[in-house]
């Protein structure tokens, strides 16, 4: 009964997210311009397609992906046939073929018109068609009459040409199938750059045929063969996505130096590092053998990666080895480089020239920025808006990562308000290429990574694509809940993984009832935000604890928060409104009691026990507060003082997990009137 009532209340909350749903469409990112026209295009098993002007295998594959997603959603078996233009349900007008590998200058614009007879999609090339098909894929919906697409007119193109997702496979390796499904998800939300972080202290993840020792000693056997990488690049290109590799230099380089200690700046042995943060070993920029070796690697990998951009990292060099090395300090003095920063600029210039010989444009993190750096190089900034302003003022193109670190597990709303081109850079807005969401790999496995990327990155994708004026957070969240299901259709496992992981935590007791209890329990929890809260985790630690199951920015927590805000702002404390809050708290209080019992029989749930005590206490305080509020009773002063102290204690982390509902319960407690 409680679960049924809760479902009804959640429906009411979703409905109360604002009137934006009346004028907005269920698409993410929102198109640049769109207008609903009141028509309705029915979609059934007779669906047909007509390719006008150009038909190609690439377009056929893109259409097949659309149909596969629709079949998953609708359970309709589409027998797609080509039909004359006048009779086709979908007309695709493509003016020209696209290059096999997309470019940063590729035209991604499209136009879409849907009326009661057909949908007409027009684009200048195949990539533009794919962007339009991503919109169409999301538009299919259902009412009492059946499946249909709403009538509308769309004129669309991206605001920024660089819309990326960084996936770090250096710290935790990700198998090919993980990259595949995330490329499919990227295509759905119109991201167009996979930034592939391929080397780290913990792993060198790409086969180098001239130097097989790099993966033999630096990867724990986990790396991509060149044939696998070629296939991944082709897979991405087929979806209009570029692949930009990152080979981190001169620091974050233990996995390079473990097989080539003679290129290190230090004399101590170099051992593969399975811990973090970064260690001291770093390339020696004064050693000419370093550049010969790097040229060997670049000669091979620049042929493998067709994109003209090449990322060298360049970040977080602590300079410890350089400062200890007398020969290196003498080199700095002899060449007038002043300090370690000057030496790194020297190194970057040398590396940049090597890459330029292979027609590659170098990208690096903030740390490479120096007035002596060639203006052709690109700065990716993780340090903030001041860095963007400094780089663009110096004439450098910039990619923004700051504000989009999704591994910090902030809310979608947090990322959504960050713009790639802040006010500080407006005078040089043409130098802002776009932005990237960054999925650093310290605390993700091949099973958990999707839940850390999606669906929040869809909101970031909207910030990169849509108009700057698209800022309605309520409507963003309304559509984000829909896109979460669409991503699931595309093959991501952020939804599937949770139930499977909870079953593993339960151990031998896998009945439906305990599973439902745990699902209710984690609805109130979230993984801790930021770094430094999970000591002892390494690149070989199995990431299967409670912290790895909880999802950031959870839907139920958000609904509860919305409900509490609505309740308190409206100040209509009737029985029904009060119970709409109480139902959440009663559910969580009940699940907390049952989790305590489960923790006695399931050792993997040891982290859940203290959280269950906290949840029981927090839910109890919320219930007490609601009773005071709805009955307009005055509470003893000591009650409120104790409640505030208890909530502070209940905010403590356990196993890198915290209760996400505490801020809302605090609001309820603060609303209670006390004796004067």
- H/E stretch holding 549: helix 546-549
Q: Among 213, 288, 316, 575, which one carries the catalytic annotation?
A: 316
In DSSP terms, 245 is beta-bridged to: 196
Q: DSSP for 47-60?
A: -EEEEES---HHHH
Phi and psi (nearest 5°) for 421?
-115, 90
Triad 91, 97, 98: Cα angle to 5°: 115
- H/E stretch holding 664: helix 662-671
Residue at token pair 């050693």: 287
- H/E stretch holding 168: strand 162-168
The interaxial angle of helices 176-188 and 126-139, nearest 10 deg, is 80
Residues 651 and 658: beta-carbon distance below 8 Å: yes
Question: What letter would DSSP give residue 212?
Answer: T
Q: DSSP for 214-239?
A: HHHHHSTT--B-HHHHHHHHHHHHTT
Distance CA 514, CA 533 (A): 28
Phi and psi (nearest 5°) for 241?
-120, 130
Q: Which one, of 137, 136, 131, 122, lies nearest residue 54 by Cα?
A: 122
- Would you say how long the chain is, in residues? 676
Residues 343 and 330: beta-carbon distance below 8 Å: no
Residues 142 and 74: beta-carbon distance below 8 Å: yes
Distance CA 573, CA 171 (A): 51
Distance CA 504, CA 651 (A): 27
Strand 162-168 to 657-659 pairing: unpaired
Q: Which one, of 297, 304, 293, 314, lies nearest residue 248 by Cα?
A: 314
Distance CA 170, CA 181 (A): 19
Residues 317 and 251: beta-carbon distance below 8 Å: yes
Distance CA 182, CA 487 (A): 9
Residue 159 DSSP SS3:
coil
- H/E stretch holding 156: strand 146-156
Report the C-alpha dihedral over residues 212, 217, 221, 222, rounded to 10 degrees.
-90
Q: Which one, of 230, 5, 238, 210, lies nearest residue 100 by Cα?
A: 238
Q: 280 to each of 80, 262, 266, 268, how far by Cα in Å?
A: 59, 15, 9, 10
- DSSP 3-state helix, strand, coil percentages of the chain (rounded to 5)? 45, 15, 35
Active site residue 268: no
Strand 48-52 to 242-249 pairing: unpaired
Residues 381 and 402: beta-carbon distance below 8 Å: yes
> Which residues have a catalytic role annotated?
316
């Amino acid at each position: 009964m409680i679960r049924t009532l809760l479902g009804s209340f959640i429906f009411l909350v979703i409905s109360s997210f604002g009137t934006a749903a009346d004028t907005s469409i269920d698409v993410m990112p929102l198109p640049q311009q769109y207008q609903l026209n009141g028509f309705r295009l029915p979609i059934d098993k007779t669906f047909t397609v007509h390719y006008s002007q150009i038909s190609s295998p690439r377009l056929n594959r893109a259409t097949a992906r659309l149909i596969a997603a629709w079949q998953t959603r609708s359970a309709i078996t589409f027998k797609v046939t080509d039909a004359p233009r006048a009779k086709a349900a979908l007309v695709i007008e493509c003016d020209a073929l696209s290059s096999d590998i997309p470019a940063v200058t590729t035209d991604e614009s499209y136009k879409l018109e849907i009326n009661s007879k057909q949908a007409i999609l027009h684009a200048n090339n195949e990539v533009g068609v794919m962007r339009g098909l991503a919109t169409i894929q999301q538009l299919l919906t259902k009412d009492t009459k059946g499946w249909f697409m709403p009538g509308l007119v769309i004129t669309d193109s991206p605001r920024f040409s660089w819309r990326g997702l960084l996936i770090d496979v250096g710290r935790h390796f990700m198998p090919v199938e993980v990259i595949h499904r995330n490329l499919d998800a990227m295509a759905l939300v119109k991201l167009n750059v996979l930034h592939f972080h391929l080397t780290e202290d913990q792993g060198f993840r790409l086969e180098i045929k001239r130097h097989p020792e790099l993966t033999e000693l630096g990867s724990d056997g986990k790396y991509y063969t060149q044939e696998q990488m070629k296939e991944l690049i082709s897979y991405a290109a087929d979806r209009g996505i570029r692949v930009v590799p990152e080979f981190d230099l001169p620091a974050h380089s233990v996995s390079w130096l473990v097989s080539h200690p003679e290129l290190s700046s230090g004399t101590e042995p170099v051992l593969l590092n399975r811990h973090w943060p970064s260690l001291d070993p770093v390339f020696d920029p004064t050693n000419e053998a370093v550049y010969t070796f790097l040229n060997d690697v670049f000669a091979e990998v620049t042929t493998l990666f067709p994109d003209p951009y090449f990322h060298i990292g360049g970040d977080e060099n602590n300079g410890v080895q350089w400062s200890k090395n007398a020969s290196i300090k003498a080199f700095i003095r002899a060449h007038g480089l002043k300090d370690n920063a000057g030496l790194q600029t020297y190194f970057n210039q040398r590396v940049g020239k090597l890459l330029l010989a292979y027609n590659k444009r170098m990208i690096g993190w903030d740390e490479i920025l120096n007035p002596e750096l060639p203006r052709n190089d690109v700065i990716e900034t993780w340090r903030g808006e001041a860095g963007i302003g400094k780089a663009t003022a110096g004439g450098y193109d910039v990619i923004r990562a700051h504000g989009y670190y999704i591994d910090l597990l902030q809310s979608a709303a947090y990322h959504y308000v960050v713009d790639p081109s802040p006010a500080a850079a407006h005078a040089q807005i043409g130098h802002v290429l776009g932005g990237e969401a960054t999925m650093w790999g310290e605390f993700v496995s091949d099973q958990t990574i999707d839940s850390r990327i999606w669906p929040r990155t869809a909101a970031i994708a909207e910030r990169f694509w849509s108009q700057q004026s698209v800022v309605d957070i309520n409507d963003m969240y309304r559509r984000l809940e829909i896109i979460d299901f669409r991503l699931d259709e595309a093959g991501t496992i952020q939804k599937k993984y949770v139930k499977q992981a909870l079953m593993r935590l339960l151990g031998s007791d896998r009945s439906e009832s305990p599973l439902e209890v745990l699902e209710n329990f984690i609805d109130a929890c979230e993984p801790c935000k930021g770094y430094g809260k999970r000591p002892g985790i390494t690149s070989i630690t199995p990431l299967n604890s409670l912290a790895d199951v909880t999802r950031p920015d959870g839907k139920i927590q958000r609904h509860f928060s919305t409900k509490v805000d609505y309740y308190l702002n409206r100040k209509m404390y009737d029985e029904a409104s009060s119970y709409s809050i109480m139902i959440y708290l009663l559910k969580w209080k009940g699940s907390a009691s049952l989790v305590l019992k489960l923790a006695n029989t399931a050792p993997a749930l040891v982290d859940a026990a203290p959280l269950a005590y906290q949840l029981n206490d927090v839910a109890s305080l919320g219930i007490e507060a609601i009773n005071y509020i709805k009955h307009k009773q005055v509470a003893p002063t000591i009650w409120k003082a104790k409640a505030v102290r208890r909530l502070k204690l209940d905010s403590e982390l356990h196993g890198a997990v915290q209760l996400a509902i505490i801020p809302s319960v605090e609001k309820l407690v603060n609303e209670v009137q006390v004796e004067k």
